[in-house]
Chain A
Amino acid sequence: MALAVPLGLLALWELLARLAVLSPRYFPPPTRVGAVLVDSFAEGDLGGETLVTLTRLGSAFVLAAVPAVPLGLLMGMVKPVRAVVDPYIAVLFPVPKIALLPFLMILLGVGEAAFVLTGAISAFFQITISTLAGVQTMDPRLLDVGRNYGARGARLFGKVILPAALPAIFTGLRLGLGLALVAIVAVEFIAAKSGLGHLVYRHWQTLSIPQMYGAFVLVGALGLLLTRGLRALQARTLTWQEEPGRL
């Protein structure tokens, strides 16, 4: 039942394209796109490009999460750290991170390092901010109770603060991964010569339209898998948390 509307839309598209109501040149019927998708996977190049995008995404995510989570925790627990870092986050968080790409390409050359770092910076700010919010919005009574029972330092952190902040950290990681995907695909579309984003761009320029849709569908599937998969993981592992947000 849930699939009725999407399937109906696809069927309508198929019909309109077959009857040439929609220009089949620009809006090829979905079955054609599917066939092309299967073919390009069989030839191997599509799988390779997908792997390139996934590798960039994975590296960017790790590069962002490893410093962002400790920084967010530190900012939440140590006031002077927060005071020093706050102005940079406040200024840089709303900036479209793609605008950093030219700077990174000047510094690091036009290559993987600049591409991956643009994605990492996109995720970094989101993860830091979510982690900080997780520490700041925790119930202060939890801290009091922990202290009253004699938890200090590492124990207080490991038993009270971290578990309380964990749902927010996970949300930050989930949102961060999404932003990294947006940035990586945009970077590929704009500057890289490989990856799914570049594939859409190249097939657009050469007007190999079914192939373009194929790459497009693949990015959509990737995004869906990541967002839905992580939300399911979040609901499953952090069972003490309320329903994870939708965004």
Chain B
Amino acid sequence: MSRRSGWLAGHWLTVASPAVLLIGWELAAATGLLREAFFPRPSTVLAHLRRLIADGTLLAHALPTLGRIAWAFALAAVLGIAFGLAMGLWRRLRESLDPVFAVVYPIPSILFLPLVSFLVPRGETALIVTTAVTSFFLIAFTTTEGVRQIDPLVVEAARHYGARGRRLFTAVLLPGALPFIFTGLRLGLGFALIVVVAVEIVNATYGLGALLWLSWQVLKVEDMYATFVVIAALGAVLSYGLAALRARLLPWAQDVAER
């Protein structure tokens, strides 16, 4: 038996279940059992998706979204890792920032949009900074934990062998904290996608969130579904792509997320 058919034998239900749903949906909509106005057939949605791709609409909305996610993620990652490492290393700093973070972190990011738009001049910058807020906290938290969970014996041993400053940092602390940092990055990227869609719904002309909202407002239901499929695909690519990257880069460490 080849490897592929072996996999299929073990996972046929996992493949069959969505297939049955999609075929059933198609048939139910075709026979009028489901109202096509609300539940357009999967084949119709696919056709609309094709059209959105062909006439460039999708690209015009997807590119701004990707750009915002990239900028927000970079901003959150750089600041989050820097704060996280500093807070992990210096107890005083951690203890003084902890209460501030504890209060600000649970506030849903979308509410920062008004505040941020008072602070920064351009609309686009406000969208990006708002998108970065919650990701920043997630990355800072996990990085702090990552530094704190390093076995003090390891640090002690490194010191005895003469590692100080930069060397201690790059040879011991950073690799030790890396699995945690990576978990933070994964969670942060997921959150950036959540927030960017919400922010685009509120305050953008272009972007997948804006396209979704616009399609709903003019009741182009098929376009709504098509946009949703794209957003879902983006979510899957970001989340499973990063998981695969992690397995490749950090094969020794498990994900520490589901705690």
Contact = CB atoms under 8 A, between A and B. Distances in A.
Interface of A: 1-6, 9, 23, 26-27, 80, 83-88, 90-100, 102-103, 105-107, 129-130, 133, 168, 171, 178, 181-182, 185-186, 189-190, 197, 200-201, 204, 212, 216, 219-220, 222-224, 226-228, 244-247
B236 A3 contact: no
Interface stretch (B43-51, B55-63, B74-82, B191-199): B191-199
Nearest to A181: B108
B197 A6 contact: no
A2 B111 contact: no
B125 to A, nearest CB: 16
B98 A2 contact: yes
Contact of A2 (B99, B106, B228, B236): B99
Nearest to B194: A96
Q: Which of B110, B215, B216, B235 has the most chain A CB atoms closer than 10 A to its own CB?
A: B110
A88 B18 CA distance: 8
A130 B197 contact: no
A106 B232 contact: no
12 contacts: A1-B95, A2-B99, A4-B96, A27-B118, A83-B11, A84-B13, A84-B14, A171-B259, A197-B111, A216-B107, A223-B105, A247-B142
A186 B198 contact: yes
Contacts of B95: 1-2
A189 B38 contact: no
Contacts of A88: 17-18
Contacts of A105: 216
B104 interface: yes
B245 interface: no
A91 B232 contact: yes
Nearest to B224: A102
B191 to A, nearest CB: 9
Given A102-B216, A216-B107, A247-B142, A92 B17 contact: no
Given A223-B106, A246-B141, 15 more contacts: A23-B118, A83-B14, A94-B236, A97-B194, A99-B209, A102-B212, A168-B258, A181-B106, A186-B198, A197-B110, A223-B105, A224-B103, A226-B106, A227-B106, A246-B259
